[in-house]
Structure 1
Amino acid sequence: MISSEVTTGPSAARTGVLIVGAGPTGLTLACELARRGTAVRIIEKSPEFHSGSRGKTLNPRSLEVFESLGILPALLAHGRTDLLLRKYRDGRVVTDTDPFAVLGPTPAAPYVRGLFIAQWLVEEILRTRLAEWGVTVELGTELTGLDQTEESVIATTAAGERMAAEYLVGCDGGRSTIRKSLPVAFDGRTEDGRLMILGDVEAEGLSRDYWHQWLDEDGAILLCPLGERSFQLQALAERDELGQPVAPSLESFQRIFDRHSGMPDIRLANPTWISTFRVNERMADRYRVGRVLLAGDAAHVHSIAGGLGMNTGVQDAFNLGWKLAMVVAGAARPALLDTYEEERLPIAAWTLDTSGERWRGVQRSVKEAGRGTEDVIRPETLALGLGYRWSSLALELDGRGSEGGAVGGEGARGERATDDGLLRAGDRAPDAPCLGAGGTVTRLFDLFARPHFTLLGFGESTVGVLRATEAQYGDTVRPCLIADIAEGLSDHEGHARRAYGVTGDAVVLVRPDGHVALIAPADATRAVLDYLGTLRS
């Protein structure tokens, strides 16, 4: 438990942001801050990097996040999008299913398939990228004291080092000691009836083209290929004669496999990671207490159904990173950080509801031939439709021939409202290919990947607002004219206008995390300048 008292000693080493926990959430946040020039330290209690596969799927929205960070090619080179789900019953194959077969990429959403990749590898790729910005993870560094002043957070480590930071972010997992040191409730429930076991094993002779799933009346075992040799094993724990769970081991893995698979020639070997878990559905009631914030599993935990855990943490970090960077740089008022909780806490509530619903659905259907885990892969679990229409940062004016005003109400549990299908302020900003000078293709995602707001001007009449915005906020906003003139991008196939629902001339302000901030008429210079001004004052 972290003490709230700070030990006396030398002056604390000061940084902009101190991140506690070097999993995918903490590393994504550190990358977001480092690439914006924010002074950041990231510490990890463990003396060595985690090696287990744990979370094993990145959803399409996380792939977009990682494309912005410049690591998508490395992830795609080490992961897979082509795995089939192979179901067995009584030792026989009953179905081979491609859970993403009904989905196809579009210019607005180039990634629609999940990427199967071990979490330890995601972390390694993130650490490599972070090191390119001059930041490395400080292993074996445990916080034992934490206090806040009006200007900073003071943390003390087990080794006696004192660290001062303008802000501290707890990314230290479901058992977060940072969260436990704060006046934050972590309410929810634990499913007591089922103890799950996990492990990374080798299975020589088992095809690596399938996620193998043996389902019987008395249980199940799943083996998903990850990396070059390993499979992630999932199963219900064995029970002894008294009904108590048996500690997982290679021997218990083999017994469960033999009982369900009907493949006596397959021997499991080389268990590099073994773990257990019970399904917890809990979330923090606050994400910010003064200068301390929570993200990832420290803020919410839920079932594994839908593969939303690692992804929700990554997307927490993407939402928080630009806001922290602007506040620390003095480019935004501290109140901007309140919008992190305003936007992400409802997403956590939606995630718990969705994941829990999928988990209970799988328990009901998993014994039916051809059904089971593929039921958890639905369009909503891709996270492309999640947005923040209720946010105070979402402003919509009459820019496309429809009535507007501040956006609120719809989708206040995280799901995208389905009123008219039109893109709204708060939604994820779509991609689209355009043509630049010399006929080179420029994707909108290429523009959004830069660490700033992007002001899209659809039509020549938006030149005035683009120039005025750049003149006043050129350090924060980059303008982009979409019009068939020399200085503009050509929407040669109309994909950009269709994706943004623009038929006439209009401006769309896109946040650094790729969500729509504002939609306004072509001459709404004052509205755009006022919006950006409210971030600073």
Structure 2
Amino acid sequence: MFTESEFIVIAGAGPTGLTVARQLQRYGVPFRVLEKSPRPFDGSRGKGLQPRTLEVLDDLGLIARFQQSGSDYPALRVHRPDGQTVEWRMDELHEATPDVPYPNALMVPQWRTSELLADGVPVEFGVGVDAVEQDAGGVRVTLDTGEVVTARYLVGADGGRSTVRRALGVEFLGSTHEDERMFIADVRLTGVDRSHWHVWPGDPGFRLGLCPLPGDGEWWQLTAPPTETPVPELVASVDPSISVTEVAWTSQFRANIRMASRFRAGNVFLAGDAAHVHSPAGGQGLNTGVQDGYNLGWKLATGNDVLLDTYEAERLPVAADVLGISTELHRRHVDNRDDAMRRDDPALRQLTLNYRGGPLAAEHRAAPGRIQAGDRAPDAPLGDGRRVFDLLRGGHATLLAFGHTDALPALPASVPIHHVTAAAVEEAYDVRDPALLLIRPDNYVGCATQDPQDILDYLKLIGR
């Protein structure tokens, strides 16, 4: 546990660092969030929140505010050179099911995602990290203000050019493709239908994309190949009837596909873009970073060194897999494949990512069903107006007891027990025989067993 003088430093106030802060805040662990930039990020950049990230936001108590701020992705309207238009979706809209309440990606500009995550979280803007040293007393962090602080732990969530990662000497493996670039801008327009994502093909590839952003202000995210042409002229070149009234954030994206060789060095941890950078294809980078923070935050709060080792063991393989998915989608764009804009691979929703076989996946059943230790804990109606997610919300471990009528051993008061009687929950968890499923604080199945002693042992392992 933490003493009064101990705290955690989080370098970077993007979605990843803010998710770590939110996790620490719910456990009452003191922290400082440092952001080198003088003000919050104001661009739309990572605008797609995948279904698993929406479940994280549900657990953090933020889902309603995000749904109010976002929208479903619109259908594409492709404006062909012959004057004809073709409409289709990158992925069909999915109906909610009892076990998946948020089946579709939600479009929310990144600046708004950060704003919502930062609400109530103190952030020190204009303060960056210059140097990092470790000794028996903790992590000594030299700030660019000249202040030197000693923290129990340091989280490097300071982006692809991470000062923290460089200070640790951790390799950033992969490649940068300087010849594969994209121009991105937030623009305000008139004269174009906001119910579609408009695309003008080129030869080869495409000339311009305009995606309507949710919220007030009639803003759009513009994408185009690298260009020196002023934005109003660029837009007029595809349709003179469209007028650009304002240009705000702009960026030149380059294909940077890399991953840190390790996510932990002593008491310093890397998360989000500091640990892995992706092509924006498929909307995986921001989402993977949020889930890094979600995984790391509750473990940091325990101060348990053995448990903290599981962060890298769990998240590094996941990041590698997601990097492979986003890279494959990127190559489709580069090669101008016919399916370059398809986003119907179920893996993109990140609901099937799991920690099976990892150090915190304790599957003791001889014949487990579809849902096993290490898997995401699905939702389901309890039959009394509540859902499973209502039981899990709040950052605690939860025991789901299926068919156990015998008295269970005393568990810590912080671990609620729910005796499952609803058939819908049994179906969602694919449980037919008596079983005990211990759901971790980050809502993955940790321990699945028929022996109550296994649950007690597991709670000791995770510091509960």
Listed as ranges, the gaps of 5+ residues in structure 1 are 1-12, 239-245, 328-332, 405-420, 484-490
* Count of residues in correspondence between the two structures: 458
State the identity %: 40
How far residue 252 of structure 1 moved from its aligned partner, in angstroms, is 2.6
How far residue 535 of structure 1 moved from its aligned partner, in angstroms, is 3.4
Q: What SS does the aligned partner of 1:221 have?
A: strand
How far residue 18 of structure 1 moved from its aligned partner, in angstroms, is 0.8
* Contact 1:454–1:509 (Cα < 8 Å) also in 2: yes
Q: What SS does the aligned partner of 1:450 have?
A: coil
TM-score, length of structure 1 as denominator length: 0.82
Residue number in structure 1 paired with 2:456 = 529
Q: What SS does the aligned partner of 2:96 have?
A: coil
Name the larger-Rg structure: 1
* Contact 1:100–1:113 (Cα < 8 Å) also in 2: no
How far residue 66 of structure 1 moved from its aligned partner, in angstroms, is 0.6
Equivalent residue letter for 1:157 = L
Q: What SS does the aligned partner of 1:519 have?
A: strand
* Contact 1:301–1:309 (Cα < 8 Å) also in 2: yes
Listed as ranges, the gaps of 5+ residues in structure 2 are none
Partners of 1:102 and 1:79 in 2: CA distance: 15
* Contact 2:302–2:463 (Cα < 8 Å) also in 1: no
How far residue 450 of structure 1 moved from its aligned partner, in angstroms, is 1.6
Pair 1:256 & 2:234 matched: yes
Residue number in structure 2 paired with 1:347 = 318
* Contact 1:319–1:513 (Cα < 8 Å) also in 2: yes
Residue number in structure 2 paired with 1:220 = 207
How far residue 365 of structure 1 moved from its aligned partner, in angstroms, is 4.4
Pair 1:175 & 2:164 matched: no
Pair 1:335 & 2:306 matched: yes
Q: CA RMSD in A?
A: 1.8
Residue number in structure 1 paired with 2:351 = 384
Partners of 2:35 and 2:260 in 1: CA distance: 22
2:419 aligned to 481, 498, 510, which one? 481
Alignment of 1:316-335 (within 5 A): 316-327=292-303, 333-335=304-306
Pair 1:356 & 2:327 matched: yes
Alignment of 1:36-75 (within 5 A): 36-75=27-66
How far residue 41 of structure 1 moved from its aligned partner, in angstroms, is 1.1
How far residue 104 of structure 1 moved from its aligned partner, in angstroms, is 2.3
Pair 1:28 & 2:19 matched: yes
Equivalent residue letter for 2:381 = P
Partners of 1:423 and 1:337 in 2: CA distance: 25
Pair 1:509 & 2:457 matched: no
How far residue 35 of structure 1 moved from its aligned partner, in angstroms, is 1.1
Partners of 2:298 and 2:372 in 1: CA distance: 21
Residue number in structure 2 paired with 1:451 = 395
Pair 1:430 & 2:378 matched: yes
Residue number in structure 1 paired with 2:132 = 146
Pair 1:304 & 2:268 matched: no
How far residue 397 of structure 1 moved from its aligned partner, in angstroms, is 1.3
- Return closer, same or farther for 1:344/1:500 CA change in 2, 3 Å cut-off: same
Q: What SS does the aligned partner of 2:104 have?
A: coil
TM-score, length of structure 2 as denominator length: 0.94
Pair 1:395 & 2:362 matched: yes
Partners of 2:219 and 2:390 in 1: CA distance: 35
Q: What SS does the aligned partner of 1:357 have?
A: helix
Partners of 1:77 and 1:290 in 2: CA distance: 41
Q: Residues 307-341 of structure 1, C-alpha deviation per residue, up to 9 Å, x if partnerless? A: 001101001001111111122xxxxx311111100
Q: What SS does the aligned partner of 1:191 have?
A: strand
Partners of 2:394 and 2:82 in 1: CA distance: 52
Partners of 1:316 and 1:154 in 2: CA distance: 23
Q: Residues 242-281 of structure 1, C-alpha deviation per residue, up to 9 Å, x if partnerless? A: xxxx3xxxx532333333x2x2111223111111011111
* Contact 1:203–1:268 (Cα < 8 Å) also in 2: yes
How far residue 479 of structure 1 moved from its aligned partner, in angstroms, is 1.1
How far residue 534 of structure 1 moved from its aligned partner, in angstroms, is 2.9
